[in-house]
Amino acid sequence: MSERTERSAGREGMPGGNGMSERTERSAGRESTPGGNGTGVVGAGAVAGKRVVRPYGDTTGDGMVQVSFTLPVPHDKRAEGAAVQLANRMGIDPAMLVHAKPMSDGFTFFVVYGRVNHLVDLDQVQVVERDFPLLGAKEVNAVVKQRLRRKLSVVGACIGTDAHTVGIDAILNVKGIAGEKGLEYYRELKVTNLGAQVSVPELVEAARRERADAVLVSQVVTQRDAHLHNTREMSAAFREALPAGKRPLLIVGGPRFDETMTAELGVDRIFGRGTTPGEVASYLVHALVTSRKAGA
């Protein structure tokens, strides 16, 4: 439905490649000590007692990264110089421009390859770990039937002006994604997919009508933080419309969400890129059934 910067260790960084643009320099401004022995893991003599790594490009621990960006300038020599200057100010030195292509009138897309001195302290990385077991479809159905004694109701939608239903359909539709069936496949789950561009009042009303145990919202449109504004609006609407004990579980997902922002956004769970229907189903069982948060 967020790639973490710590995953940049071990990625290929060959210039002109079509993979990654892992911006390791944004690894939370951790250690920036350029010392070490040139290996991927800096020895205890460099940063005592810490597990630190540096990016991998051509050789282990060479600090090479590849980044891509667009500048609002027409493609010419000055634009290419501007891209290199920006990369230098990002801490990439030396910076090599490996690709430049006009996007449209007055815009140019760049790929820059070069070295950074920043280190990643693995012990300081903060992520949301999965705190529930992964269950198969048969296990999910059995737990819901035995413990909940009714079908678990799920309502899903893309809210606001978001018309990108690929994410919500991958989780809800029976065809699922990558060979894994969606939630419609689970016989003990009642799924209502409202589709795209659903207003928040419409979502609240549908959740009330379907007696939803959980509401799943997918947000792909992120310009000007639309996904954050929409999510805050949704959570506020449910708090206003329903008392605490009657509110459904609120779950959002999308490629640009930070999974650590649940409290700030007023939701129960955030799922990021690569989430599967099985993960969502397992979480629903964990949160609503085995943790005894569901009503009778």
Residues labelled as active-site residues: 175
E strand or H helix at 78? helix 77-89
Residue 263 is which amino acid? A
Residue 106, SS3 per DSSP: coil
Nearest alpha-carbon partner for 47 in 30, 63, 62, 60:
30
| Residues with Cβ within 8 Å of residue 76, at least 6 apart in sequence | none
Nearest alpha-carbon partner for 192 in 170, 216, 175:
216
Going from the C-alpha of 82 to that of each of 26, 74, 108, 275, the distances in angstroms are 21, 11, 11, 37
Nearest alpha-carbon partner for 284 in 208, 203, 191:
191
Q: Rounded distance, CA 141 to CA 277, Å? A: 14
Token pair listed for 187: 């016989």
Cis check for the bond before 201: say yes or no (omega within 30 of 0): no
Q: Rounded distance, CA 92 to CA 271, Å? A: 31
Residue 155, SS3 per DSSP: strand
Q: Rounded distance, CA 207 to CA 213, Å? A: 8
Token pair listed for 105: 């009138």
Residue 114 is which amino acid? G
Residue 105 is which amino acid? D
